[in-house]
Chains A and B, each alone.
Chain A
Amino acid sequence: DARVTQTPRHKVTEMGQEVTMRCQPILGHNTVFWYRQTMMQGLELLAYFRNRAPLDDSGMPKDRFSAEMPDATLATLKIQPSEPRDSAVYFCASGSRDRGDEQYFGPGTRLTVT
């Protein structure tokens, strides 16, 4: 049963601390997306990669957020330093150009910054 996995599922941290979220895309998928979901803003695209190369990170506050794909099985989203306004659920999704535009979402990381 192929699925996107994300770790950790929950993270509580203090303002100013570094947060790293990890995502394992579905094997064979070559596009990876990072989304943030809040009640106020809904689902926002932060960044996405194709074949491990960043294609668009315009939705990401670049002074504190960074996204990377060290290899085809791991995508990371890092926040440094974290702020209370970063509290949200962060989703990773993966897809494959060969199979159309379908995106498969992971279960999310619920981040709380106090």
Chain B
Amino acid sequence: QQQVKQSPQSLIVQKGGISIINCAYENTAFDYFPWYQQFPGKGPALLIAIRPDVSEKKEGRFTISFNKSAKQFSLHIMDSQPGDSATYFCAANSFGNEKLTFGTGTRLTIIP
């Protein structure tokens, strides 16, 4: 019930392409869905987040798409760059509960 399932485990995309990472959840009480980006040797950093009152949120080249009925959300990286190569984690929590449930991570590699 508390799990967040993330796919794919790894992803290789050519420079300039679109990277798409998907997450699915079961707990309908979840109402906050952030994405974190982690570079090797660093801590995860909040990239972008969405709440279920909207179906999409865009910040620069990064977009979250949210499908409440399907209990799925995804991260789209447009015009992917080698500097985007990192591990991406989706996460979720519910109102009044600061604990984040993290997905298992996606290692993204952008090739020139």
Contact = CB atoms under 8 A, between A and B. Distances in A.
A106 B103 CA distance: 19
Contacts of A43: 44, 89, 102, 105
Contact of A107 (B32, B42, B102, B105): B42
Contact of B43 (A31, A97, A105): A105
Contact of A45 (B34, B99, B104): B99
Contacts of B105: 42-43
B93 interface: yes
Which of A43, A55, A97, A108 is packed against the most chain B CB atoms within 10 Å?
A: A43
A93 B43 CA distance: 9
Given A42-B105, A101-B32, A91 B43 contact: yes
A107 B99 contact: no
A31 B98 contact: yes
B18 interface: no
Contact of B34 (A33, A55, A101): A101
Interface residues of A, number: 23
Contacts, number: 48
Given A93-B43, A100-B32, 14 more contacts: A43-B44, A43-B89, A45-B99, A91-B44, A97-B98, A101-B34, A101-B100, A102-B34, A102-B46, A102-B49, A103-B46, A103-B100, A106-B43, A107-B41
Interface of A: 4, 31, 33, 42-43, 45, 48, 50, 55-56, 91, 93, 95, 97, 100-108
24 contacts: A42-B104, A43-B44, A43-B89, A43-B105, A50-B98, A55-B98, A93-B43, A95-B98, A97-B98, A100-B32, A101-B32, A101-B49, A101-B98, A102-B34, A102-B46, A102-B49, A103-B98, A103-B100, A104-B46, A105-B43, A105-B45, A107-B41, A108-B42, A108-B43
